[in-house]
């Protein structure tokens, strides 16, 4: 049987602080590390084994994957990291406390930014440190492809080609894949 397991990263420090994270590279909290280890234990106990894994460039997903693979004793399997699996870019909301943002902009507007299909928050500026073009990780990615904000529609447009062209076709020659990414 062919299987793809999708796993969200453990709690990050900004999840704990109720902040919009997006492409900001925030580490796992202690609880997040525990969650990642428990996920690995649960996968092991359920008899899972993987031949390859995929993750984003963001350390909360990478570290979750590393914890899981360690618990499975599969640290050796090939891992492909890609910016295309990064979380939705929250633009100018990145780093802001969600409760404070709701007070400032209203519950309805924050809900629209977070959950609507095609409405994105305001973008970060070209010189804003939250602009992925300022990060060495994305130096090889054409600037026109790097988001400064994203709606769900934009995020799907970034992730789905990778899913369709890389991950899904890997099932032709592999039986079990693990994808550790974002919500």
Active site residues: 9, 87
Angle, helices 98-105 vs 107-115, to 10°: value is: 120
Q: In terms of DSSP bridges, do strands 3-8 and 52-55 run parallel, antiparallel, or are they unpaired?
A: unpaired
- Give 157's contacts (C-beta < 8 A, 6+ positions apart): none
DSSP secondary structure letter of residue 169: H
B/e letters for 13-41, b = 16+ CB within 10 Å, e = fewer, are bbbeeebbbbbbebebbeebbebbbebbe
Angle, helices 30-45 vs 59-72, to 10°: value is: 40
Give the tokens for residue 174: 């592999």
């Amino acid at each position: 049987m062919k299987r793809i397991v999708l796993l969200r990263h453990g709690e990050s420090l900004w999840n704990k602080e109720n902040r919009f994270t997006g492409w900001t590279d925030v580490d796992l909290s202690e609880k997040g590390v525990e969650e990642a280890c428990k996920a690995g234990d649960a996968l092991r106990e359920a008899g899972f084994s993987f031949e390859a894994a995929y993750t984003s460039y963001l350390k909360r997903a990478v570290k979750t994957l590393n914890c899981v693979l360690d618990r499975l004793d599969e640290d050796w399997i090939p891992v492909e990291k890609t910016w295309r699996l990064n979380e939705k870019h929250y633009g100018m909301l990145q780093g802001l406390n969600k409760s404070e943002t709701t007070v400032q902009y209203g519950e309805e507007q924050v809900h629209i930014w977070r959950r609507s299909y095609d409405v994105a928050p305001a973008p970060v500026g070209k010189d804003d440190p939250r602009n992925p073009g300022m990060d060495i990780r994305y130096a090889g990615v054409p600037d026109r492809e790097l988001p400064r904000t994203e709606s769900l529609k934009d995020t799907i447009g970034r992730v789905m080609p990778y899913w369709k062209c890389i991950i899904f076709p890997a099932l032709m020659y592999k039986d079990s894949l693990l994808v550790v990414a974002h919500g």
